[in-house]
Structure 1
């Protein structure tokens, strides 16, 4: 395997993260509950991890600010435009698989 510098790793990880965010913005039809049920994380998880990273570096980033970074708009706006009611089956699956920190 090619040996990567720390800077290259950081740059490639950042590029992959930006690509993931772009993909999730394009796929607004995929609901957070679908992501949680299939992958165990969702857009809100990403925004929390982003905020945690910022806070760890001394940057005070609010939950709303980090969500806007991930969603590309205020969370309430995204919900109004894209969020649908989850079926009872999806809700039951989520509860059965729910991670401890959610």
Structure 2
């Protein structure tokens, strides 16, 4: 539900298929990504649901400090520059539900 993901915060979710994702909110829009750094293939957060940098401007990899744009997942600082987080397609419904569209 949208109220479970406050503005400029993120929440992790474990999917039934074993994938780990996170969803974050920025300016009323929601963005979802695989919880996997493109550089070292490790989970991003340093503490539970802590995906954003101190200023809550960028998604940050806890392993090496790479920074990613919230809106696109593009790496803008760190060893994986030019790469991006793997986006997860979501839709937000008027009932406040957030729904995933996953590959079969």
Q: After TM superposition, is the score higher than 0.5? A: no
Greater fraction strand: 2
Relative contact order, higher structure (CA 8 A, sep 6+): 1
Q: Please give the TM-score of this superposition, normalised by the length of structure 2.
A: 0.23
Q: Please give the TM-score of this superposition, normalised by the length of structure 1.
A: 0.24
Query: Which has more radius of gyration?
Result: 1
